[in-house]
Structure formats: C-alpha cells, structure tokens
Amino acid sequence: MKSLNPDWPSKFPCKIAFVGEAPGDDEMFRGQPFVGPSGRIFNSLLRVAGIERREVLITNVFDTQLPDNDVANWCGTTAEKNKWPDYDLPPVQRGKWLRPEYERHLDRLADELERGQPKLIVPLGGTALWAFTGFSGIMARRGAVVEAAMVVPGAKLLPTLHPAFLIHSWKMFQPVAADFLKAKEEAEIEGFYTTKSLSSSGQSLTGPLTIVQTKRCSSSRRI
C-alpha cells in the first residue's frame, strides 16, 4: 500500500506541527499532504495567521489513504475489540475501535514528531485529536490548549477543525483562522496553560487553568 511522506520543515526543530487524519486522492496523486481543496483552505489559514508553510511540519495520523476516506473502515466493533489481546486504545468513534494492525501508524507519527521536535502540535479534526488525547469530540475542544496523553504524552496541543470541514461549513473559517493565529502565539511560549475546553460556539468554558511545562516530543507513544 502506497504511503505518503510528511512535509518536513525547512529547519529543525520546528515550532509547529499540523496533523490531519489521512491523505486523500489529490495528496496521494501529488505525493504531498494538504494539496487538494482542503489544502487550499489550509494554505489560506496559514497566510491569515502569518505562518510560513515551509517552516512547519505537516503530516497525518495515517500515511495511507483510508478506504472511502473513512476511518471507520479501519475499525472493529466492540465485540471484535473484546477479542483482541492486550488492546488498550480508546474508541476512535462511539463503538468504533482502531484495528490492531493499524496501530503502527501511531508509532510512525510519534517518530515523525520526535524528529521535528515541534513546540506545539495542532491536531486537525477529530481523528487527529483522538490520536493525541483519546477524545474525538473536536467541537468541544477546538481552540483550547490541552496536553497530549497518547501519542507524544506531555506535548502541547491546540486542536482545531480539519480544513475539509470548512468546505461545507465556511462560516467556521474565521474561528479556525483565529485558532491558527493562537497557535502561532502559543508556539512562542515555553510553558503553557491548559484550558478546560471550548464550547461548539467557540466560547471558553469556565474552569481552572493548569500550568504545564513545555515538553519536546519523545518517541514514547502512550503513557
């Protein structure tokens, strides 16, 4: 199965890594992440935030195209999961568990981030958020600074919506652009505050802030 390499930054370590779900048709054809319709929106978001594409790491949770571009096709049911020995991943979606043969993609992602050494990781969409935190509810967490618990535990995250979502919901372009701007600012901060989460409307939910020391990425995948 053909795999897609990341877009490596022009220098190491980099300040920001953007992580999507998986390449689509355009990405596989051109051999580069985020080059199709969602890639054009992604580039627009970078321009609005004043982020140079060549200076960031761009990759995906899965480096091969998903069947029908749907991660559910690589998942088993709860009944199937209960038969997998030593399985400890949370569900990607309700009742959908990533099959063990695809766990290697999480290890590959951890290795890429260890090489890039970003100060901030921006998970794009629910699947990317799941890979780092075990949660896939992106609307409840977009724009919030959170700490990774699965891939590269301890890393600083700022999740937001996948650019592909904006194709059908353009009204969210401005909130996502604000997240990209916040990502640029957070990448300059050594320590970070983890916020509880954001509501689907983008408003901060009440709750205490916790100061966390910035950790560079390591090859450890999960706690």
Query: Which pLDDT belongs to residue 1?
Result: 74
Give me the pLDDT at residue 190, please. Answer: 79
Q: Are 80 and 98 in contact (CB under 8 A)?
A: no
9-53 tens-digit pLDDT:
999 999 999 999 999 999 999 999 999 999 999 999 999 999 999
The topology (CATH level 3) of 16-62+106-212 is: Uracil-DNA Glycosylase, subunit E (3.40.470)
**E strand or H helix at 37, and its extent?**
helix 37-49
The residue count for the chain: 223
pLDDT of residue 217: 54
**Global pTM value:** 0.88
The predicted-structure confidence for 159-169, as pLDDT tens digits, reads as follows 999 999 999 99
Mean pLDDT of the 132-138 span? 95
Peptide bond into 33 cis (omega under 30): no
Element of type H or E holding 195: none
Which of 165, 74, 181, 177 is CA-nearest to residue 125?
Answer: 165
Q: Where are the domains of the chain?
A: 16-62+106-212
Question: For 137-160, what is each residue's pLDDT tens digit?
Answer: 999 999 999 999 999 999 999 999
